[in-house]
Structure 1
Amino acid sequence: MAFALTVSTALADEVQVAVAANFTAPVQAIAKDFEKETGHKLVASFGSTGQFYTQIKNGAPFEVFLAADDATPAKLEQEGETVKGSRFTYAVGTLALWSAKSGYVDDKGEVLKSNTFEHLSIANPKAAPYGLAATQVLARLGLTDVIKPKIVEGQSITQAYQFVSTGNAELGFVALSQVFKDGKLTGGSAWIVPDNLHEPIRQDAVILNKGKDSVAATALIAYLKGPKAAAVIKSFGYQL
């Protein structure tokens, strides 16, 4: 799935960006300001970090990668697929247990232990870091074996969210950014999972080899490190 934002500028350059699905809304907001300020057009494709790794290794035309973890960009760096010195952590993600129903999820996540639901949605832990974090939470709470038969697995965090939003699962582990804006939930009910229940979700950005000579790619990385992007990122519940 691709999303493009354009600006009418004769001098505009274009940057192809692979964006982890959890960062969809923030990057759409950032893209507007980035293009207004620099004149460059951001063309974003959204999906799971694991799928993007495979696509990049197979020659996909991405110039910048905004991953949902730090391990995948580091691996690409070790394999010589990135511009040296360009990798940095642009956000630290927050995991949430969410239901589209108001009052369904309590603020301590006790609904998990109640085991009264039929389906729990998570993203594929092999491809999506938020899915991996979800499995770590279940393990820390001693609920893996009990809940395993009820898990509905999405290929990305977007699909995991859709299972819950459409009612195919009563609740699910999603990225807080999918259900949070400007300090409050956008709907339903949620438990913001404590950081100590899973490994940190450090999300790294990196310029890929195809973007080494791209002015727009360099400008985007610089913009992501600036105060305007930071304000948008924080507004969606990420840490910096």
Structure 2
Amino acid sequence: MTKRVLGVVRWCSLVCSFGLSGAVFAETATIAVASNFAVPARAIADAVEANSGHRFHIVVGSTGKLYAQIVNGARFDVFLAADVERPQALFDRGFSASGPPRIFARGRLAVWIPGAQHPDEETVTTFKPEHVAIANPALAPYGRAAMSALNALGLDQRWRERLVKAESVGGAFTLVASGSADLGFVALSSLLAYGADPAEFWRVPDHAYTAIEQAAIVLLPGAENPAVHAFMRAFEGDVYSQLMEQWGFAPVTP
């Protein structure tokens, strides 16, 4: 069993301790999820399904693309974004079924250099890559965070022509994993879920990039859906905060 699968099993067993009550009538909900939160979202959904009988369809994409789909009529019940701006915009435009957005996670950025041995800031700033993978800053909050980190490290001009922009931070991860990029600014959560060798990545200090606050919003189609309410209840309590740390996110305090 891979480290990634073991992590999901551990997550599910802990989420089940929330004590979700069984549903009298099982329902189905569609959850739109930013790519960096795909594995935790699926694990939470699996745990809620096991305890309630509800079923969840997880749709993964960049925050910008999912936002555009919602505005253009896609029938999602919940939106778990990688920023606050897009859920807030949906709230302002009347798409919310339950009030303003709620922050559910704070993302962390890491630099992944396959084959490296315990890279640090000096390793990164002296590295001479041919291709550097980042998420597209116009679509993905992790892309904007990557650009601010490049600026803080003094690499924004030096590496400008070497940047390869993926649609999402998950896409940036794939570029590095496939060997299409020598180095990538990726989500720490993706590295931990994948089981990447800790000796091959450097966690970028929080002060070096713009905060990646991730917000959730219940959309109008999910207003009266019991499956939605069961899913959202799983984002509460000390166990959830502990899981966020394990999966590479900063704790979220009420």
- Structure-1-length-normalised TM-score: 0.89
Cα deviation for residue 218 of structure 1 reads: 1.7
Residue equivalent to 1:17: 31
Q: Is 1:89 matched up with 2:100?
A: no
Residue equivalent to 2:16: none
Residue equivalent to 1:220: 231
Q: Is 1:50 matched up with 2:64?
A: yes
Cα deviation for residue 232 of structure 1 reads: 3.0
Q: 1:93 to 1:218 in 2, by over 3 A?
A: same
Cα deviation for residue 86 of structure 1 reads: 5.6
3-state SS in 2 of match to 1:237: coil
Q: 1:12 to 1:231 in 2, by over 3 A?
A: farther
Cα deviation for residue 227 of structure 1 reads: 4.2
Residue equivalent to 2:215: 204
| Letter aligned with residue 99 of structure 2 | G
Q: Is 1:146 matched up with 2:158?
A: yes
Q: Which runs of 4+ in 1 moved over 4 A?
A: none
1:233 to 222, 241, 244: 244
3-state SS in 2 of match to 1:144: coil
1:77 to 85, 88, 91: 91
Deviations 1:118-147 (A, max 9, x none): 111001111110011000111122221110
Q: Give ranges in structure 1 of 5+ residues lacking alignment.
A: 1-8
1:78-157 map, 5 Å: 78-85=92-99, 87-103=101-117, 106=119, 108-157=120-169
Worse-superposed segment, 210-219 or 42-51: 210-219
| Letter aligned with residue 35 of structure 2 | A
Residue equivalent to 2:8: none
Deviations 1:205-237 (A, max 9, x none): 110111111111122111122444434332111
3-state SS in 1 of match to 2:159: helix
Q: 1:230 to 1:32 in 2, by over 3 A?
A: farther
Residue equivalent to 1:6: none
Q: Give ranges in structure 2 of 5+ residues lacking alignment.
A: 1-22
> Which structure: greater helix fraction?
2
Residue equivalent to 2:10: none
1:66 to 58, 80, 85: 80
CA distance in 2, matches of 1:142, 1:230: 34
Q: Percent identity over the alignment?
A: 36
CA distance in 2, matches of 1:145, 1:115: 14
Alignment RMSD: 1.9
| Letter aligned with residue 121 of structure 1 | A
CA distance in 2, matches of 1:147, 1:158: 21
Worse-superposed segment, 229-238 or 203-212: 229-238
| Letter aligned with residue 189 of structure 2 | S
